Amino acid sequence: MSQQILRIARPTKIELIRLRRRLRIAKRLHKVLKDRLIILTQELISLIRDAIELREEVNEYVGKCYDSLIKVLMISRFEDVLSYANSRFLRSEVVIGSRVVAGTRVPLIDLRRELRKTEFGSFVNTSLIMSSECFDELLSRVARLAEVEESVIKLGNEVARVKRRVNALENILIPRIENTIKFLEMKFEEREREDKMRLKKVKELLARRK
């Protein structure tokens, strides 16, 4: 914590009032930033947890899906698998937008797909359907993981930035203002004591002259 005091032009009462006002603003600002930091940190922790979970799931799905694809390719032609994969969805799109978390813009990736309801040819078998369903799951998790990991990076940078400001207020600015206020109050008390002593001396001097 800083022990320094602010440099003031003149130790006056006006300066003391101004400093008290500055201290109030600084304390209010400190509370705002601290609340923001709490919210951002909570958000960051929950996103990190999500990212770890999603990464584990993605790794698990990658193994599972490619195993099932190998099994499918053993019984089906590659062209049939490819044509099924290309025509499985009527509509498949990725919406990339942004959302705001406590003043920080983070990405939002939404995967939207509409399954084709028509019957496919005789080449479609259960293992092909199961394998494609596995890849659907994998793709949705990959999209979510991309969103979460990018959000973690952005929120992490913001947390570091806000933390620096909170620390600057907590350890430098607020203690310096408080020290200066204390210094000024002591100065005024001293001046008051000196005045009292001077008046006493003058009184004594006048009494002696009489």
**What are the phi and psi torsion angles at 101 (to 5°)?**
-120, 110
Quick one: 85 or 102, whose CB is closer to another protein? 102
Q: Does 54 bind another protein (CB under 8 A)?
A: no
Q: How far does Cα 26 stand from its chain's mean position?
A: 22
Cβ(51)–Cβ(149) under 8 Å? yes
Output 19 or 128, the one with its CB closest to another protein.
19
- In this complex, which beta carbon is closest to another protein, that of residue 127 or of residue 150? 150
Among 88, 141, 154, 176, binds another protein (CB under 8 A): 176
Q: At what angle do helices 13-75 and 126-168 cross, to 10 degrees?
A: 170
Asked if 112 interacts with another protein (CB under 8 A), we say yes
DSSP state of 117: -
Name the segment binding another protein (CB under 8 A); options: 80-88, 98-106, 132-140, 182-190: 98-106
Nearest distance in Å: CB 64, another protein? 24
Which of 3-11, 55-63, 132-140, 185-193 is the region at the interface with another protein (rule: CB under 8 A)? 3-11
Give 7 or 208: the residue with its C-beta nearer to another protein.
7
Residue 160 in contact with another protein, rule: CB under 8 A: no
Residue type, 8: I
Sign of CA dihedral 81, 82, 87, 88: positive
Which two structure tokens, joined as six digits, stand for 160? 């570091």
Amino acid at 24: R
Q: Does residue 102 interact with another protein by CB under 8 A?
A: yes
Per the CB < 8 A criterion, the answer to whether 135 and 62 are in contact is no
Coil, helix or strand at residue 196: helix
Token digits of residue 31? 């509370």
Which residues fall within 8 angstroms of residue 101, CB to CB, at 6 or more apart? Answer: 39, 40, 43, 151, 155
Span 7-36, contacts to another protein by CB under 8 A: 7-8, 22, 25-26, 28-29, 31-33, 35-36
Of the residues 52, 95, 186, 205, which one makes contact with another protein according to CB under 8 A: 95
Should residue 184 be labelled a site residue for another protein when binding is judged by CB under 8 A? no
Contact set with another protein (CB under 8 A): 6-8, 22, 25-26, 28-29, 31-33, 35-36, 38-39, 42-43, 46, 95, 97-103, 105, 108, 110, 112, 165, 168-169, 172-173, 176
